[in-house]
Chain A
Amino acid sequence: MTTSTTGGPPAADLDERRAGTSTSRFVAGKVGGALASLVFVVVLGFLLFRMIPGDPVATMTRDRPTSPEQLARLRERLGVDEPLWRQFLDYALGLLRGDLGTSYLYNRPVATMIGERLWPTILLVGTATVLAVALGMWLGVRAAWKRDSTFDRVHTGVALTLWSVPQFWLGLLLLIATQGLFPSRGMRSPDLPEGFLAETLDVAWHLTLPCLTLLAVIYAQYMLVMRSSLLEEMGSEYLTTARAKGLRDDLVRRRHAVPNALLPAVTLVFLQFGMVVSGTVTVEAVFSWPGLGLLTYDALRGPDLPLLQGVFVVLAGSVIVMNLLAELLYRVLDPRVRAA
């Protein structure tokens, strides 16, 4: 990786050049690691859905009567009678072309189905994450600043309790508690009113309950991390200095303590992505939200192995990419890591 600095001006001083080298080496290392993980995901997808079942066709048809001709056709379409290395090659080359195979239950290309379901999931996960980060950080800062106050005790307790709640149960509770106030399934009303505003409101109305459910479980993590991160800063001497300068308590918190404590929480946004994705599977199943989670849930009924395989590779792959972003972002945000 030493070649990356050769383009730099010769006048640049030594320190700067060394920093440049280590940055590009760091980035290359992280990207290389992520690529290796992606390859591993691809191999794992093959192992899980092709090799462990032994005979995928028998697994998929175990709960339903199937005629010999249907079985033969399915075997041929999945190519299970070919040697394993050939199957793996077909699968890996297909992935490179964006071909994830054909769904067994729906008889459609898996990639197309995932593409259709991607946006609803992004909408749900995105909204819930933004709200959870805002709420969690705000509560965490308040709780840490007034440590052991009633506010702190109550909110830490609530967060810990919500942390122990299975998401789907919370969703079911919300459904039963708001009986009929909000739609219980789907993303749009069947008799859709015309116009952009009406459509947006309709989607937002459908989004409320699933989003609340997801929010309730994930904000706790942000709050607890923000709280402990700020608590670590609380004893720092620069805060005493800031107070000695005569700054108001509010300003000491906003301008000095919080920016320093913000870092772990910010990177957590990306690191927690995997957990949020797992959460959407059950939440979408409860509310029939037409995203990737519901697609997984539906695919389980078969089990539709090509569809499950596609969803697995896409979800795992996107989590790895998000994680890579988190690690790169951490370096940009924290000068201490950059210098190290």
Chain B
Amino acid sequence: MTSPAWQRRRTAARDLWREFRTNRGGLVGLCVLAAIVVLAVLAPLITDESGLDVISATGTPLQPPSGEYWLGTDVDGRSVLLLTFWGARVSLLVGFAATVLSVFIGTLVGIVAAHFQGWPSAVLLRVTDFFLVLPSLVLAIALSSVLTKGVWTIVLAIGVTSWPSTARLVRAQTLTIESRPYIERAKALGGGHAHLIGKHVLPAVLPLVLANTTLVVGSSIIAESTLSFLGLGDPTSVSWGSMLQTALSSGAVTAGAWWYLLPPGLAIVVIVLSFTLVGRALETVLNPRLKAGR
């Protein structure tokens, strides 16, 4: 743990933040995300969980927005505001967990495919290309239909189907890093695979992975809502996708209950757009090729 290296990294992080701040879209996205995460974490403290229970629902079904229910009620007479509030927890949980899984697999496959030559790398590349081409939603649907329904099934289904783009990115970046002279120097000094990857490749690849991660969270949240909408989600918890599914299957949409439809959908759009803005801003800061064009 040499201190100059850490000092250098701290300076780099500060520079990154300074440049990130100049990107207005990214900054707005970051603030919105922070607010949503804080609210979602504090949901049990701010609101009353019993309002989610179908049996103890107090309102009349499909009531338009009023002073008592700001966003109206759903088919069971529950407050749509409360449902949307709690839905954020499932969406964020699945979004983050699936992203961690997906980025982990992607980074591992990418680095291994680039670092080791010969047939293991060829096979990994072939497999990556295969999964890249395959429609990931169709595969995720297949996986979650054969496994037991639940939040973690969804996480698994999204995580193991969305890693190929990360793997491609990491592989390309690893290849450029490994062609540089300092890697050759480390090799000449007797550095093993673990040393090369851990000390040199990984730190250089991680910034790009970070930018990619924020984009993956956004698409994971959309994938979660899509799977829940198709009825593959956890039947016991409320998520934005399952709210929209109920809205369609119960006939609330044909009845014109816009207050039931707008909040969960807008919530998805806002959260995914925020992640996209932050991810693009990070990419602009971290990717020298994009920066030169500005």
Residues of chain A having any CB pair with chain B under 8 Å = 33, 36-37, 40-41, 48-49, 52-53, 59, 160-161, 163-169, 172-173, 175-176, 179, 184, 231, 274-275, 277-278, 281-282, 285-286, 296-297, 300-301, 303, 305, 308, 312, 315-316, 319-320, 323
B142 contacts A48, CB within 8 Å? yes
A165-B219 Cα distance, complex, nearest whole Å: 10
Contact residue among B134, B256, B269, B277 (Cβ-Cβ distance under 8 Å from A316) = B134
Of all chain A residues, the one with the shortest Cβ separation from B280 is A160
B276 contacts A305, CB within 8 Å? no
Q: For A319, what are the chain B residues with a Cβ–Cβ distance below 8 Å?
A: 133-135
A48 contacts B133, CB within 8 Å? no
A59-B135 Cα distance, complex, nearest whole Å: 24
Q: For B152, what are the chain A residues with a Cβ–Cβ distance below 8 Å?
A: none
What is the distance, in angstroms, from B246's C-beta to the closest C-beta of chain A? 12
Contact residue among B138, B145, B258 (Cβ-Cβ distance under 8 Å from A176) = B258
What are the 7 closest A-B residue pairs judged by CB atoms, nearest first? A278-B137, A169-B265, A274-B135, A164-B272, A164-B273, A278-B135, A53-B146
A175 contacts B135, CB within 8 Å? no
Q: For A169, what are the chain B residues with a Cβ–Cβ distance below 8 Å?
A: 225, 244, 261, 264-265, 268-269
| Other contacts beyond A169-B225, A312-B138: 17, CB < 8 A | A33-B129, A49-B146, A52-B146, A161-B269, A164-B268, A164-B273, A166-B269, A167-B226, A169-B244, A172-B261, A175-B253, A176-B261, A300-B141, A300-B230, A301-B231, A308-B142, A319-B134
* B116 at interface by CB-CB < 8 Å: no
Q: For B146, what are the chain A residues with a Cβ–Cβ distance below 8 Å?
A: 48-49, 52-53, 59, 303, 305
Contact A37 to B138, CB < 8 A, known contacts A166-B268, A172-B253 = no
> Can you show 7 pairs from A to B with CB atoms below 8 A apart?
A164-B269, A169-B264, A172-B261, A173-B265, A175-B253, A275-B135, A312-B142
A278-B145 Cα distance, complex, nearest whole Å: 15
Contact residue among B229, B253, B261 (Cβ-Cβ distance under 8 Å from A282) = B229
> Which range contains the number of B residues in contact with the other chain?
35 or more
What is the distance, in angstroms, from B107's C-beta to the closest C-beta of chain A? 23
Of all chain B residues, the one with the shortest Cβ separation from A167 is B226
Contact residue among B232, B254, B269 (Cβ-Cβ distance under 8 Å from A184) = B254
B133 contacts A37, CB within 8 Å? yes
A277 contacts B226, CB within 8 Å? no
Of all chain A residues, the one with the shortest Cβ separation from B258 is A176
Q: For B264, what are the chain A residues with a Cβ–Cβ distance below 8 Å?
A: 169
A59-B142 Cα distance, complex, nearest whole Å: 13
A48 contacts B143, CB within 8 Å? yes
* B218 at interface by CB-CB < 8 Å: yes
What is the distance, in angstroms, from A229's C-beta to the closest C-beta of chain B? 13
B232 contacts A164, CB within 8 Å? no
Q: For A165, what are the chain B residues with a Cβ–Cβ distance below 8 Å?
A: 265, 268-269
A243-B277 Cα distance, complex, nearest whole Å: 36
Contact residue among A52, A176, A296, A320 (Cβ-Cβ distance under 8 Å from B141) = A296
B226 contacts A300, CB within 8 Å? no
A282 contacts B231, CB within 8 Å? no
